[in-house]
C-alpha cells in the first residue's frame, strides 16, 4: 500500500515537472528526452582534475569491458543450452527470457526464489545505476577532451513517464575522430562504473547485514526421505493395492495432506503434489519417512530445544547428542505469526542403532557453474541453513532486499550493455575491436552487422523455445 502511494505521488510530481518544463522535451524515436545541462560542470571538473588516475582507469575499464563481453557471451551460450535441452527448467522459471525488469515482477510471476521488487526499489535503483553509468561516460569523455553537449533523462511516453533512462550526450563527431583506445575507454566506462557500484554496495550489504540481522535458528531443507520401488507398494491410505503402478498410486492418493504408503510393511508419507512430479522416475519414487518431525508437522525453522537457543548447525548437533531414542523434547519453532512449542518423542535412527532421530534433512549445496559459484561466494557471509532474525523488523528486510537488487541489477546491466549488439555500448566496442585487429572498416562493419543480427536471432529463438516449453 505504501509503495502504491509513493507511485501515485511520484507520477503526480513527475508529470507536473514535465508539463512546466515541456520546452526542454524532445522526441527521438520511441523515447521522449528531457535535455538539460545538469552535472556538466562536475563532469568536466572530475575529467580534468584527476587525469593520472583516469589514465590508469582507462585501461582497467577497457579490460573490464572485454571480460564482461566474454561473460555475457558465455551466459547467452549457457542459456541457449538450457532452453534447447531442458524445457522443464524453463517451464519452472515461468518468466520469458526477454522481459524488462519492472516493479512487482516477482510478485506477478510468483517467483519465490527472488525477493519482492517494489516501485520504490525501481526508482532508487534507476537513479543509482543510470546516474553512475552515464556520469562515468561523461567523465572519461571529458578526460579525453570530448565535449559534453547535454545531460538528462528519457522515458517511454506510451507507458506513462515512469520507465526512465538517464543519458549524457557527448559530441559524437569529435568522439569518432579520437583514437581507438580513448573511444574504447569512453564506451566501457559505464559498465565499469556499474561494477564499481556493485562492489561498493556489496560492502554496504555486508555491514548492514551484520548490524541488522542476528542468527536465531536453524532452517532444515526437508523431512527425511527414502527411495522405494512402485512395484513393492502394498497399500495406499489403508487400501490394498495389487500390481501397483504409478497411475494406481496417483488415483488412490488424496490431494489433502499426506498419504500413507505401505512398502515392505513399513509406512511412508507423500503428498499427491510430490507424487505428480515423479512420473518419469522409472518405477522409483521418493517418499518421506514416517519420522517424528513430519508426524508433528514441524516447521522448517527450529529456534530452540528444551529452552536452549539453537543458532547454528553446530549447536543443533551438540544439543541432539544429549538425547536418546524415546526421550521427549520441546522444540520451539518459527511460525508465520511468531513462534510455537511442540513436544516431540524422538525415535531410533533407522541406520544408526541407539542414536536419537528427529527426521529432518539438509541438502548439500553443490557448486554449479562459474556464476553459481560467484553468487555463492558473494553470499558467504550468511551461514548455510541458519535463520537470521531481522533486528529492525520489516525495515531490515526492506533495506536488505533493496541492497541485494542494486548489486544484482548493477552486474546485469554491466553484462547486457556489453553485448556486441548495435543498441548497446558493446556494439561499437566490438566494432572498434574488429577494426583495430583487421584495419579494415569494411570487415568491421560486416562483423558488427553480423553480430547484431545473430544476437537478435538468438533472442527471438529463446522466446520461441520459451513458448514451446509449455506445450
Q: Which residue, chain included where needed, has cell 569529435?
A: 174
Nearest CA among 200, 224, 389, 386 for reference residue 311:
386
Using the CB atoms, write b or e for 130-152: b if 16+ within 10 Å: bbbbbbbbbbbbbbbebebebbb
* Alpha carbons 368 and 376: distance in angstroms, whole number: 10
User: Per residue of the chain (471 residues), what is the pLDDT tens digit?
Assistant: 778 888 788 888 888 888 888 888 888 877 788 888 889 999 999 999 999 999 999 999 999 999 999 999 998 998 898 888 888 777 777 777 776 666 666 766 666 667 888 888 988 998 899 999 999 999 999 999 999 999 988 877 765 555 567 889 999 899 999 999 999 999 999 999 999 999 999 999 999 999 999 999 999 988 999 999 998 999 999 999 888 888 889 899 998 889 999 999 899 999 998 888 887 767 889 999 999 999 999 999 999 999 999 999 999 999 989 999 999 999 999 988 889 999 999 999 988 899 999 999 887 655 445 445 555 555 556 788 899 999 988 899 999 999 999 998 999 999 999 999 988 999 999 999 999 999 999 999 999 999 999 999 999 998 888 888 777
Instruction: Give the global pTM.
Output: 0.82
Residue 344, beta-bridge partner list: 329
Domains and CATH numbers, the chain: 24-213+394-468 (no CATH), 299-356 (2.30.42.10)
8 A C-beta contact, residue 47 and residue 140: yes
Query: What is the widest separation between alpha-carbon atoms in the chain?
Result: 85
- State the Rg of the chain over Cα: 29
Residues 6+ apart with CB under 8 A from 141: 43, 47, 147, 148, 168, 170, 175, 186
Pairing of strands 301-305, 308-309: antiparallel
In angstroms, the Cα distances linking 443 to 155, 433, 436, 440 are 35, 11, 11, 5
Q: How far is CA 328 from CA 214, 295, 298, 306, 322, in A?
A: 29, 14, 15, 10, 12
Amino acid at each position: 500500500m505504501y509503495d502504491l502511494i509513493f507511485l501515485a505521488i511520484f507520477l503526480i510530481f513527475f508529470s507536473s515537472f514535465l508539463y512546466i518544463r515541456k520546452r526542454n522535451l524532445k522526441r527521438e524515436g520511441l523515447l521522449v528526452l528531457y535535455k538539460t545541462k545538469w552535472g556538466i560542470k562536475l563532469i568536466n571538473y572530475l575529467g580534468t582534475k584527476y587525469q593520472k588516475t583516469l589514465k590508469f582507469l582507462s585501461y582497467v575499464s577497457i579490460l573490464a569491458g572485454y571480460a564482461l563481453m566474454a561473460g555475457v557471451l558465455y551466459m547467452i551460450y549457457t542459456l541457449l543450452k538450457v532452453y534447447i535441452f531442458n524445457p522443464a527448467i524453463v517451464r519452472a522459471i515461468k518468466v520469458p527470457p526477454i522481459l524488462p525488469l519492472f516493479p512487482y515482477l516477482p510478485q506477478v510471476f510468483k517467483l519465490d526464489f527472488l525477493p519482492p521488487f517494489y516501485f520504490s526499489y525501481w526508482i532508487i535503483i534507476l537513479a543509482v545505476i543510470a546516474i553512475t553509468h552515464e556520469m562515468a561516460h561523461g567523465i572519461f569523455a571529458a578526460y579525453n577532451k570530448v565535449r559534453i553537449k547535454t545531460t538528462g533523462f528519457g522515458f517511454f511516453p506510451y507507458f506513462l513517464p515512469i520507465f526512465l533512462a538517464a543519458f549524457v550526450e557527448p559530441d559524437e563527431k569529435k568522439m569518432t575522430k579520437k583514437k581507438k583506445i580513448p573511444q574504447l575507454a569512453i564506451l566501457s566506462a559505464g559498465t565499469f562504473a556499474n561494477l564499481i557500484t556493485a562492489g561498493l554496495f556489496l560492502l554496504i550489504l555486508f555491514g548492514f547485514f551484520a548490524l541488522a540481522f542476528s542468527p536465531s535458528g536453524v532452517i532444515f531443507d526437508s523431512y527425511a526421505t527414502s527411495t522405494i520401488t512402485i512395484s513393492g507398494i502394498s497399500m495406499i491410505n489403508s487400501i490394498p493395492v495389487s500390481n501397483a503402478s504409478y497411475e494406481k498410486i496417483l488415483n488412490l492418493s488424496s490431494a489433502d495432506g499426506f498419504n500413507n504408503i505401505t512398502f515392505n510393511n513399513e509406512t511412508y508419507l507423500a503428498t499427491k503434489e510430490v507424487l505428480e512430479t515423479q512420473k518419469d522416475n522409472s518405477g522409483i519414487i521418493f517418499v518421506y519417512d514416517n519420522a517424528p518431525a513430519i508426524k508433528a508437522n514441524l516447521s522448517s525453522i527450529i529456534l530452540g530445544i528444551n529452552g536452549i537457543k539453537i543458532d547454528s548447525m553446530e549447536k543443533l548437533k551438540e544439543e541432539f547428542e544429549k538425547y536418546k531414542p524415546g526421550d521427549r523434547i520441546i522444540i520451539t519453532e518459527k511460525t508465520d505469526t511468531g513462534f510455537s512449542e511442540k513436544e516431540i518423542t524422538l525415535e531410533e535412527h533407522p541406520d544408526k542403532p541407539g542414536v536419537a532421530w528427529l527426521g529432518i534433512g539438509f541438502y548439500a549445496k553443490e557448486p554449479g557453474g562459474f556464476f553459481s559459484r560467484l553468487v555463492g561466494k558473494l553470499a558467504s557471509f550468511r551461514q548455510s541453513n541458519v535463520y537470521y532474525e531481522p533486528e529492525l523488523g520489516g525495515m531490515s528486510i526492506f533495506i536488505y532486499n533493496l541492497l541485494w537488487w542494486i548489486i544484482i541489477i548493477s552486474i546485469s546491466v554491466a553484462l547486457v550493455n556489453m553485448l556486441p549488439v548495435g543498441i548497446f555500448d558493446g556494439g561499437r566496442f566490438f566494432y572498434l575491436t574488429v577494426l583495430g585487429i583487421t584495419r579494415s572498416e569494411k570487415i568491421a562493419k560486416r562483423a558488427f552487422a553480423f553480430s547484431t543480427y545473430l544476437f537478435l536471432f538468438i533472442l527471438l529463438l529463446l522466446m520461441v523455445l520459451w513458448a514451446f516449453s509449455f506445450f
